[in-house]
Chain A
Amino acid sequence: MEHWGVVCVDAGGRVLKNRGMAKPAIEIENLTKEYPYGFLNLKKRLSLEGLTLQVETGEVFGFLGPNGAGKSTTIKCLMRLIFPTKGTARILGRSIDDVGMHREIGYLPEQPYFYDYLTAAEVLDYFARFHGLTANDRRERVQKMLKKVGLESAKKIQLRKYSKGMLQRVGLAQAILHEPKVVVLDEPMSGLDPLGRREVRDIILELKRDGRTVLFSMHILPDAEMLCDRVGVIVGGKLRGVGAPEELVGIQAQGMEILFELGADEKKPTLLARATRTGERYRVQLKEEELYAAIEELKQAGARILSVTQIKATLEEFFMGLVEADRAQAAAVEVNGK
């Protein structure tokens, strides 16, 4: 496997903050996209507003946002499927207009669709030809990819008979077939069942282990939290936050939760009034400073403590907070007639 640049990773495979030695894999500067609409296309709708972002070499970067936030617009600009109104972007230090640079990148479009008169093996072979691979290389890699995405048994079936999830797998295979240095995936989990999602997660982690840079957009926040070194949250065409998931949501615990069991004969602790019961088990949430007193009380009452966990904000809560704030702001603007 060919590596490039210098990737600084810790024992857990995470990219370290001090990444000064490696150039960013993706640099986006002030990217703006307006879409004309209305009679004679005289009105303009802003889909992306001054997006500036860097994705470091070797990191997995999650691009999060609600529908219509500008995620796919950004990705399409990077893939030169649409052209930005303003701003520039570079991948691996080269302009996105440089077609040769596309040898080094792999792209999975959102809800991909391929030539339905071809089989999976044929479509992969077709795409591989643009990367200048020899016939032997192509044959070998196509087989390898079909196996990796679980389509080996369906390789001779025309794509018109494929399900949405199977097409998604073909899309993923064509994106990584040529071993690109940068992989851009637009909603890679879309249309996949839990097993398929798990396989995609494994593939993304494998790409990361190989030192490749992965940028993906996603709606499934727990998956993003699990996979990403950093995430960028985009709402209403503007980037609202970038950082490691734990940085964004804050590492401070918001409280503690105790799960315990209490027999029928035991003394009833005062905590019981605050607890929620599920069968024989009780769950109580309290402040961090109340923890030790509560444990002591439960001990005195003869309760069996099953677990004590920190309550932390999730990426989903952070994300929903931003979306709600954006909607509230949009509503206020509308009321003021601006």
Chain B
Amino acid sequence: MKNVLTVAANTFREAVRDRVLYNLVFFALLMMAAAILVGQISIGIEKSVIISLGLTAISVIGLFIAVFIGVGLVSKEMDKRTLYALLAKPLERWEFLLGKYFGLLMTLTVNTAAMALGLYAALLTVAQPLEKADGYVLVAVYLILLKLALIVALALLFSCFTTPFLAILFTAGIYVAGVFAGDLRVVKSVAMDAATMDSGTLKLLRVISYVLPNFENFNVMGAVAHGRSVPASLVGSSTLYAAVYGATVLILAAMVFSKRNLK
């Protein structure tokens, strides 16, 4: 575990020195502009707009970091051959992989936490004092973080066996498909031409819907923006889902990477 932490700490340091956290400046500017503008154009729903905008920005910025940096975690080390000296140390390949994963997760956590603070600062400018319902924003932020953790695991898996460009495409593709995974499960009842589908196709769609990560599990933005609470059971089951799915993807990544010949 010590090796994993060593790699993770270095990955975090890399992100900081590569100015990944500079995106926070963009987020801060966005929140300031939103706080100023929203007060003028929306009457009575300022909070809702600010929360929606803030959570969307947290999710999109996190998504970009998770996909682009997640794919580069291993491929950059292979391309630049920084991995050569490292893997000759008493370090298992899975320890390296896990270290890179947790390093980026650490970066995303700091980044997301800072953005959440920014969101609260923007909220304070339009509505004082904060209410109990505003605390649900933290739950939404936590679920976004879980989603990002899953995306990083997927990016890592793809980057272990394909080119960075394809890994980005695959990760983005799985994300988009995963957003609609829930719809695939109910295709029989909602699709207009479902009646014409044979049972084999419906079964296949159902299997695919369970294999794909269901990113809708982590989306509570709508409820939170309107001050509704998020059931604890949803938070618990989403946490468990992310842990099991993420661990499975990471185990697969470790298996692929353990057999990978470096150039």
Q: How far is the CA of A175 from the CA of B90 in the complex (A)?
A: 13
Q: Is A161 interfacial (CB-CB < 8 Å)?
A: no
From B6, B14, B85, contact of A107 by CB (8 A): B85
Q: Does B190 contact A (CB under 8 A)?
A: no
Q: Are B259 and A102 in contact (CB under 8 A)?
A: no
Is B228 interfacial (CB-CB < 8 Å)? Answer: no
A132 to B259, CA, bound (A): 26
Residue interface bits B37-48, CB-to-A below 8 A is 1, else 0: 000000000000
Q: Does B81 sit at the interface, judged by CB under 8 A?
A: yes
CB-nearest residue of chain B to A186: B84
Evaluate contact between A102 and B90: CB separation under 8 angstroms.
Answer: yes
A271 to B83, CA, bound (A): 62
List residues of A (95-109) whose CB comes within 8 Å of B's CBs: 99-103, 105-109
Chain B residues closer than 8 Å to A131, beta-carbon distance: 89-90
Nearest residue in A to B19 (C-beta to C-beta)?
A117
Tell me whether A109 and B85 are in contact in the complex, defined as CB-CB below 8 angstroms, given that A76-B262, A117-B17, A130-B6 are known contacts. Answer: yes
Selecting from A77-85, A254-262, A286-294, the interface stretch reads A77-85
A76 neighbours in B (Cβ, 8 Å): 262
Nearest residue, chain B, Cβ from A128 = B89
Which residues of A lie under 8 Å from residue B86 when comparing CB positions? 127, 130
Contact yes or no, A117 B90, CB < 8 A: no
B17 and A81 contact, CB distance less than 8 A: no
Choose from A79, A82, A113, A118 the contact partner of B80 (Cβ within 8 Å): A113
User: Would A81 and B10 count as touching, CB distance under 8 A?
Assistant: no
Assembly CA distance A306 to B25 (angstroms):
77
How far, in angstroms, from A103 to B92 measured CA to CA in the complex?
A: 12
Q: Does B261 contact A (CB under 8 A)?
A: yes
Which single residue of chain A is at the shortest CB-CB distance from B87?
A81
Contact of B84 among A101, A102, A109 (CB under 8 A): A109
Q: How far is the CA of A108 from the CA of B89 in the complex (A)?
A: 11
Query: CB-CB contacts of A266-296 with B at 8 A, as 1s and 0s?
Result: 0000000000000000000000000000000
In the bound complex, residues from chain A placing their C-beta under 8 Å from that of B89 are 102, 127, 130-131
Flag whether A126 is at the interface (Cβ < 8 A): yes
Chain A minimum-CB-distance residue to B77: A115
How many A-B contacts are there with CB distance less than 8 Å? Answer: 72
Contact residues in A for B6 (Cβ distance below 8 Å):
126, 129-130
Determine the distance from Cα of A17 to Cα of B18 in the docked complex, in whole angstroms: 54
Determine the residue in chain A with the shortest Cβ distance to B81: A113
What's the minimum C-beta distance from B84 to chain A, rounded to whole angstroms? 4
Of residues 69 to 103 in B, which have CB atoms within 8 Å of A's CB atoms? Answer: 80-92
On chain A, the residues within 8 Å of B87 by CB distance are: 79-81
CA distance A105 to B84 in the complex (A): 14
A99 to B3, CA, bound (A): 12
A127 CB to nearest B CB, Å: 6
B10 contacts which chain A residues (CB < 8 A)?
A: 115, 126
Smallest CB–CB gap between B15 and chain A, Å?
10
Taken together as a complex, chains A and B put the C-alpha atoms of A126 and B90 apart, in Å, by 13
CB proximity of A137 to chain B, nearest CB, Å: 15
Contact A81 B92 (CB under 8 A): no
- Give residues of chain A (143-184) contacting chain B, Cβ–Cβ below 8 Å: 171, 174-175
Chain B residue at minimal CB-CB distance from A105: B88
Q: Point out the residues of chain A lying under 8 angstroms from B203, CB to CB.
A: none
| Complex contact A117–B85 (CB within 8 A) | no
> A81 vs B81: C-alpha distance in the bound complex, in angstroms?
11
Q: A130 touching B259 by the CB < 8 A rule?
A: no
* Interface membership of A4, Cβ < 8 A: no
CA of A105 to CA of B90, assembled, Å? 9
In the complex, per-residue mask of B1-16: 1 if CB is within 8 Å of any chain A CB, else 0: 0110010001001100
Q: Are A107 and B81 interface neighbours, CB within 8 A?
A: no
Residues on B with C-beta less than 8 A from A108 are: 85
In the complex, A83 Cα to B262 Cα: how many Å?
9
Q: Which residues of A contact B259 (CB under 8 A)?
A: 83
B14 to A, closest residue via Cβ: A117
Report the minimal beta-carbon distance from B22 to chain A, rounded to whole angstroms: 14
Residues of B bordering A, CB below 8 Å: 2-3, 6, 10, 13-14, 17-18, 80-92, 259, 261-262
16 additional A-B residue pairs with CB within 8 Å, beyond A109-B88, A130-B86: A82-B261, A83-B259, A99-B90, A99-B91, A99-B92, A102-B88, A102-B89, A105-B88, A113-B82, A115-B82, A127-B85, A127-B89, A130-B89, A130-B90, A171-B85, A174-B85
Instruction: Across the A-B interface, give the 5 residue pairs with the lowest CB-CB distance, nearest first.
Output: A107-B88, A109-B84, A117-B17, A130-B89, A82-B261
A contact set with B: CB distance below 8 Å? 76, 79-83, 99-103, 105-109, 111-115, 117-118, 126-127, 129-132, 171, 174-175
